[in-house]
């Protein structure tokens, strides 16, 4: 097995950084949704559990993918690509709802991460 080139290491570092940013965004969104659920007029446990699972699995999965990229492993490529394709689908719904302030940054982050993940393929 040959040693990774500096170009491959740089590409992996870019993908890992973008994935960590996405994990942080999902974590912040989840905390905000949990706060909305807890402070609602009628408290329900099942929606709170759903949001908690979303945060743990979504944010944790992206963070695990990022850590794998940082270590030189490529097991996180499929989850990274899938998560960003889903994010681009969410962007279309945000555009239809007229939420351009949310749609544009989400589209930019998802497209950049998707492109970086697809370019960081080992030789």
> How many CA atoms are closer than 13 Å to the CA of 94, on its beta-carbon side?
15
Q: What is the 3-state secondary structure (H, E, C) of the chain?
A: CCCCCHHHHHHHHHHHHHHHHHHHHHHHHHHHHHHHHHCCCCCCHHHHHHHHHHHHHHHHHHHHHHHHHHCCCCCCHHHHHHHHHHHHHHHHHHHHCCCHHHHHHHHHHHHHHHHHHHHCCCC
Q: What ranges do the domains of the chain cover?
A: 6-118
Indicate the pLDDT class of residue 108, thresholds 50, 70 and 90: very high
Residue 2 pLDDT more than 60? no
At which residue do the structure tokens 């499929």 appear? 78
Write the pLDDT tens digit of every residue in 45-86.
888 898 889 889 989 999 999 998 888 887 888 888 999 999
Mean of pLDDT over the chain:
87
Write the pLDDT tens digit of every residue in 16-51.
999 999 999 989 988 888 888 888 888 888 888 988
What pLDDT is attached to residue 88?
92
Residue 117 pLDDT more than 80? yes
Length of the chain: 123
């Amino acid at each position: 097995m040959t040693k990774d080139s500096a170009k491959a290491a740089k590409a992996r570092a870019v993908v890992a950084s973008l994935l960590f940013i996405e994990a942080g965004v999902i974590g912040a969104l989840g905390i905000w949704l949990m706060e909305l659920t807890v402070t609602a007029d009628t408290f329900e446990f099942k929606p709170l559990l759903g949001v908690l699972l979303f945060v743990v699995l979504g944010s944790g999965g992206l963070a695990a993918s990022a850590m794998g990229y940082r270590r030189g492993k490529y097991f996180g490529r499929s989850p990274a690509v899938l998560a960003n394709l889903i994010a681009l689908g969410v962007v279309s719904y945000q555009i239809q709802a007229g939420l351009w302030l949310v749609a544009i940054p989400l589209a930019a982050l998802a497209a950049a991460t998707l492109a970086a993940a697809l370019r960081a393929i080992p030789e």
